[in-house]
Structure 1
Amino acid sequence: MSWPLVALADVAEIQGGIQKQPKRTARDNAFPFLRVANVTARGLALDEVHTIELFDGELERYRLLRGDLLVVEGNGSASQIGRAAVWDGSITDAVHQNHLIRVRPGFQIDPRFLGHLWNSPLIRDELSRVASSTSGLHTLSVTKLKRITLPLPSLTEQRRIVDLLEDHLSRLDAGRSEVERAAAKLAILRERTVIQALTGGAEANREDARLTDVSTADGDLSALPIGWSWSRLGDVADVVGGVTKDSKKQSDPNYVEVPYLRVANVQRGRLNLDEVTKIRVPQSKADALRLRPGDVLLNEGGDRDKLARGWVWEGQVPDCIHQNHVFRARITDPRIDPYFLSWTANTIGGRWAERNGKQSVNLASISLSMIRRMPVIVPPPGEAVRIATELRDSRSDFDRLEKSIRDGMDRALVLKKSLLTAAFSGRLTSSSNELLEELESV
């Protein structure tokens, strides 16, 4: 089906927003102020809406109207460039920041049609084209948006497409929500299974936790089976920080080049070694920080819920060391198994690190002296190895379930893209459509 192509500027009014400045601190003439954070890939997020001071005539110029399309100007990411949501009018007299571009549809185009079209592969490809630059950054502007071209069926056809599209999208969204709930429940079940195993399973004979106070927020530590005990990480392992990169000395001929692990390599329950960077350090530093199989790696910083996450080094990369944002715990207590310790750090230890870490403006962190105080469980000899083996077996079952869930999410995403592509190429309203038959089964 062939529809005429029109420039966005011919069917909509396109306007930038208000730049936040000190003079605009909300005082006597404050109004709701939408930011990039309020426009997500899933729609509007209005839990936290700021306010801004407006001056004479600005409300009339910048007031959002129901049906306006809010387009994110850019964040440097090609995949996120130009994400948009249709304003629902739920907040009276709202305005928008300069990093959101307002597209106000004219009489020739239905706002709902424009909203769905904008998030379709057709317009996403067009946005990537106009947003690219020689610098590698991806940004949009009012001028660039005016160059966007879009198919324009009749209003009657637009509304017919939207009605069909929203019916099928609602089914897909409902299915996706169910899958996401299943994923959340599985994550909770996985963690409970791990913690139950780490703390002695169904053993009934237990005694309350006893641990020397070291001025940390330990929370309610679990009672353990008789013969088990709580200890501190620094008492059962040698814990050290890593190397800080000195850019000025990377060309020093007396330094040796070695691979080193960064925070990105150390994930919760796994190591991502697809890209291992190299660094030049003194030979003495390379020797002191060289990782050995069985070393437990823990992250020092990042998002608060990622503190102390990590996994066990298995010697995958020879002569590898680690950066200063990754701690290394080398076990000194023979009762402790490295995998048992890492599972502890990823569950009980992670919650503890959230309470005891520090938060800056953008990142959370936990110090070396603090991570050494992390509570760890010390079972009788042989128990840690047995439990670690059981957890590895159950992990494979959980991994299979997680893969099934991911596959379901991926299939829903593919179906959504196919649905949007069909809708804006005229195939959705055709009398025969295999895609619709597949959607009926969702």
Structure 2
Amino acid sequence: MTLGLSAAAGDGAEGASGELPAGWVRATVAELCDVNPRGFDEEPEDDELISQVPMAMVEAGTGRLDASMQVRYGDFKRKSLTRFQENDVLFAKITPCMENGKIVQAQALAGGRALGSTEFHVLRSRGAVLPEYLMHYLMQRSVRMVAEQHMSGAVGQRRVPRPYLESLEIPVPPLEEQLRIVAEVGRQVAHIEAGERAVSLAVERAVDLHASIADGAIEQLSDAPVVKLESVLREPLRNGVSAKATNSGAGIRTLTLTAVTRDDFSDQFTKITGADPKKAKNLWLEDQDIFIQRSNSAELVGTSAIYRGAENWAIYPDLLIRVRVQRDQSLPDYVALVLRTSRVLFYLRQNARGLSGSMPKIDQATIENVEFPLPSLPRQKEAIDLDSSLAV
């Protein structure tokens, strides 16, 4: 969602020749900010409540954080946590948080101060650059891509070094122009967020419609014995595996979460990843596998879809859980229908867990304990057919 500042700056931005407009200057982050200052400008009292901001409380790519968690400063002041204060800019230095855009201006902190993850670089403006301007500049995809090239450390623990960040040059307009650019970015982001809300509402309504149709098909089976999902599983539930996309085109085809977003499996949402073949060997798709989103936004977590296609065509990601049923007891289409009902969706979402500001997650035990009526196979087929007729 983050916009490049050059778009907001318009004709006043740096031209193709690399020359800056009149009044603009180039300056390094170290010239503009105190980088990782040792503490607060004013130390809190031990009894004061301040915010605590772990990495999970910073949203990726939105410039938003959740500062609602509060702690007594005296209980935490000796812990190895990062100190920052109102209007400091936080820059996540570790992979993949930096690449995902966990960069934010600290705002609405309890007492104006906070303790946070040690994986943040803290940038405290000396006055020549507005914190919000700096945040938007650093969040640009082009800036993050270059920062990624300068990361150091072992695989999975790579970080943007402090010296690189300090030496990073940015174009700095006069403060009045910075204010104008920040305001324009804000207007454009507001338009984007309005569009995202409209799309989210449409998706939620579509899911609710599918659920109401499934409800109608299941209502006729109230006399059937009730079982738990775990009793009809052919094998244990299994999460997928997370892996980064490859640039070479070589690797393993992997579904993305979007493949099951709207209760309808779509095979166009895949990527080629560097997944470990040993970890992937039990994750290959099989015809009539059912997949449940174990983590997503509140309106989408718990949605599911059934795969129909060739075996061993792709694997699936960690945010999906695979369900395989004993077909002599339950038809996969029937179980998929049950999982779409409003009652089951409500149950899954009520039992999803997550820190404030993070996506809710459903664990395997919650899914295993889904209860539903299990009639004979012919009656299951009748319910499937009724669902299809109601959906027309």
Q: What TM-score range do you get, normalising by the shorter chain?
A: 0.5 to 0.7
Aligned positions of 1:7-406 closer than 5 A: 7-15=28-36, 28=47, 31-40=50-59, 41-51=61-71, 53-54=73-74, 64=84, 66-77=86-97, 79-80=99-100, 83-88=102-107, 91-97=110-116, 98-133=118-153, 135=155, 137-153=157-173, 155=174, 158-163=175-180, 165-200=181-216, 224-225=219-220, 229=223, 231-232=225-226, 238-242=232-236, 267=260, 269=263, 270=265, 293=287, 295-298=288-291, 310-317=304-311, 326-332=322-328, 338-348=332-342, 349-353=344-348, 364-367=362-365, 371=368, 374-376=371-373, 382-388=382-388, 391=391
Q: Residue 301 of structure 1 contacts residue 365 of structure 1 at CA under 8 Å; is this kept in 2?
A: yes
- Residues of 1 paired with 2:129 and 2:353: CA distance? 51
Instruction: Give the gaps of 5 or more residues in structure 2.
Output: 1-13, 40-44, 240-251
Identity %: 10
Gaps of 5+ in 1: 19-25, 202-221, 246-258, 281-285, 394-442
Indicate the larger mover: 381-390 or 190-199.
381-390
Paired with 1:359 and 1:150, the residues of 2 have a C-alpha distance of 37
CA contact (8 A) 1:5 1:149 kept: yes
Contact 1:310 1:342 in 2 (8 A): yes
**Alignment check: 8 A CA contact 2:334 2:380 kept:** no
How far the C-alpha of 1:48 sits from its partner, in A, is: 2.4
1:34-90 per-position Cα deviation (integer Å, ceiling 9, x unaligned): 4434443323423523325359x99xxx87555432222324345226x32223465
Q: Distance in 2 between matches of 1:373 and 1:85?
A: 39
What secondary structure is seen at the aligned counterpart in 1 of 2:159?
A: coil
What's the CA shift for 1:342? 0.8
- Residue 345 (structure 1) shift: 0.9
Cα distance per residue 1:251-270 (max 9 Å; x no partner): xxxxxxxx9x9997984632
SS of the aligned residue for 1:316 comes to: coil
* Preserved contact between residue 294 and residue 301 of structure 2 (Cα < 8 Å): yes
Alignment-mate amino acid for residue 89 of structure 2: L
TM-score (norm 1): 0.56
Distance in 1 separating the partners of 2:93 and 2:57: 13
Distance in 1, Cα, partners of 2:110 & 2:182? 24
Q: How far does residue 29 in structure 1 lie from its aligned partner after superposition? A: 5.9
- Return the TM-score normalized by structure 2: 0.62
Amino acid corresponding to residue 113 of structure 1 in structure 2: Y
In structure 2, what is the Cα distance between the partners aligned to 1:180 and 1:321? Answer: 29
Aligned length: 331
Distance 1:33 1:380 in 2: 51
Q: Distance in 2 between matches of 1:243 and 1:235?
A: 10
On the 8 A contact 1:31/1:54 being kept in 2, the answer is: no
**Structure with bigger gyration radius:** 1
* CA 1:78–1:117: 2 relative to 1, 3 Å: closer
Q: CA deviation at 1:14?
A: 1.0
CA distance in 2, matches of 1:178, 1:304: 16
Question: Residues 377 and 72 from structure 1, CA distance in 2 versus in 1: closer, same or farther, beyond 3 angstroms?
Answer: same
Q: Give how far 1:110 is off.
A: 3.5
Is this contact kept in 2: 1:266–1:298, CA < 8 A?
no
Instruction: Give the distance between the partners of 2:91 and 2:58, measured in 1 at CA.
Output: 8
The answer to whether the 8 A contact 1:356-1:366 is kept is no
Instruction: Give CA-to-partner distance per residue, 1:386-415, whole Å, 9 cap, x none.
Output: 423654x6xxxxxxxxxxxxxxxxxxxxxx
**2-side partners of 1:178 and 1:11: how far apart?**
34
Q: Residues 184-236 of structure 1, C-alpha deviation per residue, up to 9 Å, x if partnerless?
A: 322232122222222338xxxxxxxxxxxxxxxxxxxx8x35x7645435699
Q: Structure 1 CA distance, aligned partners of 2:284 and 2:149?
A: 46
